[in-house]
Structure formats: structure tokens, C-alpha cells
Structure 1
Amino acid sequence: MRAVRTVVGDVPPDRLGVCDAHDHLFLSSPRLPGEELRSVGAARAELAAFRALGGGAVVQWTPYRMGRRAADLPPLARESGVHIVAATGLHQAQHYDEAILKAVRGPRLAELFVAELTTGIGLSGVRAGFVKVAGGFHALDRHARWTMTAAAEAYHATGAPIAVHLELGTGAPDVLDLLCGELGVPPERVVLGHLNRAPDLLTHRHVAASGCYLAFDGPSRAHHATDWRMPDAVLALVEAGFGDRLLLGGDTTTAGARSVNGGPGMPYLLRRVRERLAAVVGAEAVGRMVTENAGRAFSVEWR
């Protein structure tokens, strides 16, 4: 039986409802000083706003030691009626103090990922439902190769999917060469994030043909082509027969971007992105992206 591992237990994939496949309720990083997502009240309000528009699930891509607040997630899920899926994993080195990285060097990292997937995050008892790692800009540095190797080991031990932050949407072929080619992770267990930030339709089709999932996640920022190029990119993939590999998300990473603070936040996915994509590929296709596709991408025959 395949199941999505949420913070309150495993659920069948068809129980997720409408899913924001990449977002953050809590997040902190030295790269985002003063913009941390730490407020439980703001997270509660954001979930309520998302739920009011028909949202049913949020996949939080916040990994190890980046302010996940795992113990706060189950009460928020129960109060809001929104399924929450938590992450284990490790981001780029720039998001951590060296002491944190030194503590998990070598094989300890894979052991950490497996423990958080099967036993729980710290003392919270909350189990992660997937592994989040990150590539670099058009390349994979030593840190990325180390974390992806650990993520692959965790997949082989548990079956958990691996979600990858692509820096500005780049480096997808290198990620697949490593994870699926060298490390033996099936492509359908890999989610590539931020493809919207690099609207390279040739690369999109190439990686979609591998069988992995492509996440278009987050409204435009100053140097991103997210909003104005995304409909064309999604249409091209649907017309090429890859509509069943597409996921949609919001990727709220700063306090100012929350809807409760005047930003787009989680509701933007359902309030604006969904309707814009429906205008070019149809409401039925978009509906499958946020329900069936997300359920398949994050459901596992847990080992």
C-alpha cells in the first residue's frame, strides 16, 4: 500500500486533496536575516487562507536545522484540516554554520535522514515524508554530491522520494545523472524544484522524459521568469505528453511573502496560478497536477 507520510501519520495519496507541492510554514537561514518564518500564528493564518480556497495539503521543503519546528506541525495540521508533509534533508552549505555540517559528516548524514523518515525528527516523534537536497548553479559541488549520495542511501533504505532545489532552475541533467545514473534512484522518486526559474523548454522536455517530476513552484521574483513564461512552459510539457509529471507549489520563503503580511503566500497558488494555467491547458489538467500528480510523487511503499 502506497501512503504519503504526513506529520500526523500515513494517509492514502487520494486523501491529500489539492496539494501545494512545495512551500514553507517555517524557515530560517543566515541568508535571510530578519525574514525568518517563525510565527506559529502566521503559519496558522496562512493555512486557514489556503484551506478557504480549497487547499488540502502542503509539502514543507524545510530541511534539517533550518527552523522546521516539527513539534508545531501536527497541531497546525489538525487545527487547519490541511495535511502537512515534513522534510528531512540538507540544503546548500551556505545555509549552515560549519559546526552543524561537521556534526553530520560522512555516513552519519544518511543515518540522520533515515532516522527522521522512520523514527522522527529529534524528540518530536514527527516523521518526515521525503528528503530535500540542493544543487548549485549549473553544477554540483562537493557538498551537493555528498548530500545527494546520502539522500540516495535514504531512498534505498526507505523508499522515500527525493526533492531537489535547483539553483535558479539550473543543473537538472547533472542531478539526474548523479541520483538516477550513478546512485540508482528511480527517476519517478525524484522531484526537481524551481524549473519555472529557468524556462528552457528543451531541458524541461529532456528531464521530463526521464520519468521524474517537475515542480513549477513560486511566484515571480525580480530576476525570475516564473509568471510570464510559466504558462508556455507548462503548455509545452502537456502537449508533449508530460502533464502527469508536473507539480505546482508556492515556495513562501520570507515573512514578507506571506499573504497575512501582504504578500502572495500560499493562497496565490489557488487564487492566481491555478486560473492562469487553466486558461492555457484546461482546468482538468491543472486539477490533476495539484491532486493526482502530487499524490503519486509523494506516496511511498514504505520500507
Structure 2
Amino acid sequence: MNAPRPAVRTVLGDIAPGRLGLCDAHDHLFLRSPLLPGQELDDEAAAEAELRAFAAVGGGAVAQWTPLGLGRRMDLLPRLSAATGVHLIAATGLHQAAHYAPGRLRRLLPGLAERFVADLTGGAAGAGEAGPAGGAPPVRAGMIKVAGSFHVLDAHARFVFSAAAEAHHATGAPIGVHLEGGTAALAVLDALCGGHGVPPGSVILGHLNRAPDSATHRRAAEAGAYLAFDGPSRAHHATDWRLPECLRALVEAGCAERVLIGGDTTTAAARAATGGGPGMPHLPAGLREGIERELGAEAVELFYRRNPARAFAASWRA
């Protein structure tokens, strides 16, 4: 029997990787956390306006890294994708414990790997989350999102990593990792890849721009992981000036094929269409132009199109 061809799992179904287009590799349309009181992303109309603004400047796809229990609104994503023409990759997974009320976390932890697999294969709704409307096909997640802690992996992270690895082996899904402050990248790879046998090419390390350690970046890239530089957002603007040097170092080290670019818009104020920006449109507009000036058109093609087409593709086993 022939192995299945790699595909990107979007909320409207699996697509060939080449159809993904220009990709925002890490962002949020919906997000609700007790650590961000009053800054919830929960407005459907605002999410649609942001996607339309993104599409108007050439955006083709967004990976929404909002995991279980944080208001990811899986039920709304298919309509938003169909209305705007933007491919959407949804996430299952679990964030740091601090992002959940204790009662909600206790409800999510039992059978965690099975919960992840159900999300990836059948669109099961998480605790307190809406599922698809009556009669609608199931909405499937296309990635697993997990999180480390600052410079270390605490017991919660290790428990969630184990469940994520089990779900990866059952389905083939890529795993995106929130690195707190951009730290612990190599510890994450040791845990997921060395400890649980996840192929490095199935791991996306997020927030590396927040720790501009080019030696660590190079080692992670040479190990085979994907590196997401996902800071252009009001919450993280202090890292913007470091981005060109980080990207240049990776290009010069021969690691350009491991780089992804994302926006990580986490507050309503950071949206372009309904807030003060820069939001999702900044990636295909201003930021892309700056990268091309510094590193050339080939780097832009890799960072925005070819690399995410590989990073989010899987030979799905379920």
C-alpha cells in the first residue's frame, strides 16, 4: 500500500501543501486567558475583518495556535475561512497551567492524548467549547500546540509533551511549541525528539525572536526543527529590531529552509482592521518588504511559502 501523500489539514479539509500560499505561521483569531483579563479575542466580526485585511495584501493562510480551553472557537473557523478565502489551520493541545482556571485544567487533563487525537481526526469540542453546528462536518485541528516554561520544562509541560507525542505518533500531526521568552529550545527538542521519538521536522519552535541567541537557533535548525519568528505584534515590539540579524545568521549558516514567520496577535488592540495594528496584514506587507530588502526574494519565498508548506504538512495516519 502506498503511503499517504503529505497534506495540510485545514478547517475546511486537507489540502496539498502547495495550495497553502503565503502563510502567517503563528497567530490567533480567538483567545481567552485569565492571564490576559480584558484583552480577549472573541469578536467574530473583528476576526473576519482582520482576515480580509490579511487577504487583501496577499495573505493565503493562518495557523491559529489557540489550544484547548482558551476560546479557540472551532465552530466559527470554517465559516471565516470560506468567507475570506484564507486557509485556516486550527490547533489542539494545551498551554501552560497558568492559562487555565484550576477547575477547567482538572477537566482537561484526564485522557489528554485521546482528546488531542479526537480533535485531530474528528473535531471533538474541548471542555466548554462549541462544536460544529448541527449537521456540519467535523472540524479537525491540523496541529498540536504545547508550551514550555522559562528556561526549563516543568512537570505540567512534560505531562503535556508526553500526550502530544502520543497524539503525533497516532496521527502524524505537527507540534508547535510556545517557548516562554524564547528559551529552552534545545530542552524541548531533547524531550520531544530524544525522549518521545517525535521527528524534529514535525516540531515548530515558537517565539525564538524573544531570545536572540543565534547559536541556539542554529543548533535547533541543524537538528531539523522549524523555527518560528513570530513577534511582530504590539505585545512584543521590543524584539522587532533583532529580527533581521537573527534571520541573517540563519541564512548565512545554511538554515534558511527551517525559518517561519508569524504575527502572534494576542490582543484586540494589536489588530490592524479594528485595533491599532500592526496585526496580520503587517506580515505580507511591511515585514515582507523589509526581509526582501535585507535577504532577497528567495528568503521571502522560503520563509512565507515553501517552509510553512512543509512544516504544517503531514502524512496523516488518521
What TM-score, normalized by structure 2, do the two folds share? 0.93
Q: Which sits farther off after the overlay, 139-148 or 278-287?
A: 278-287
Q: Which sits farther off after the overlay, 266-275 or 150-159?
A: 266-275
What is the letter of the counterpart of residue 109 of structure 1?
Answer: L
1:52 lines up with 2:52 in the alignment: no
Q: What displacement does 1:225 show?
A: 4.5
1:187 lines up with 2:197 in the alignment: no
Q: What displacement does 1:154 show?
A: 0.4
1:292 lines up with 2:306 in the alignment: yes
CA distance in 1, matches of 2:115, 2:124: 9
1:15 lines up with 2:19 in the alignment: yes
Q: Cα RMSD (Å) of the superposition? A: 1.2
1:233 lines up with 2:237 in the alignment: no
2:117 corresponds in structure 1 to 114
CA distance in 2, matches of 1:222, 1:74: 28
Q: What displacement does 1:105 show?
A: 2.9
Give the length in aligned residue pairs: 302
Alignment of 1:88-103 (within 5 A): 88-103=92-107
2:141 corresponds in structure 1 to 128
CA distance in 2, matches of 1:222, 1:247: 19
Q: Secondary structure at the match of 1:58?
A: strand
Q: What displacement does 1:224 show?
A: 6.0
2:68 corresponds in structure 1 to 64
Of 197, 220, 225, the match for 1:212: 225
Q: Where do 5+ consecutive residues of structure 1 fail to align?
A: none
The 3 A distance-change label for structure 1 pair 297 and 99 is: same
Q: Deviations over 1:4-37 (max 9, x none)?
A: 0000000000001100000001001011111100
Give aligned-pair identity as a percent.
Answer: 62
Q: Secondary structure at the match of 2:75?
A: helix
Alignment of 1:145-156 (within 5 A): 145-156=158-169
Residues 233, 270 of structure 2: 8 Å contact kept: no
CA distance in 2, matches of 1:80, 1:224: 28
Alignment of 1:160-179 (within 5 A): 160-179=173-192
1:157 lines up with 2:170 in the alignment: yes
Q: Which sits farther off after the overlay, 265-274 or 178-187?
A: 265-274
CA distance in 2, matches of 1:66, 1:104: 11
Of 263, 275, 279, the match for 2:293: 279
Q: What displacement does 1:289 show?
A: 1.2
1:301 corresponds in structure 2 to 315
Q: Which sits farther off after the overlay, 178-187 or 278-287?
A: 278-287
What TM-score, normalized by structure 1, do the two folds share? 0.97
Q: What displacement does 1:272 show?
A: 1.7
Q: Secondary structure at the match of 1:55?
A: coil
Residues 23, 61 of structure 2: 8 Å contact kept: yes
Residues 115, 124 of structure 2: 8 Å contact kept: no
Q: Deviations over 1:67-122 (max 9, x none)?
A: 1111100010001000000000000000001112212335x000000000001132
CA distance in 2, matches of 1:31, 1:282: 39
CA distance in 1, matches of 2:38, 2:140: 29
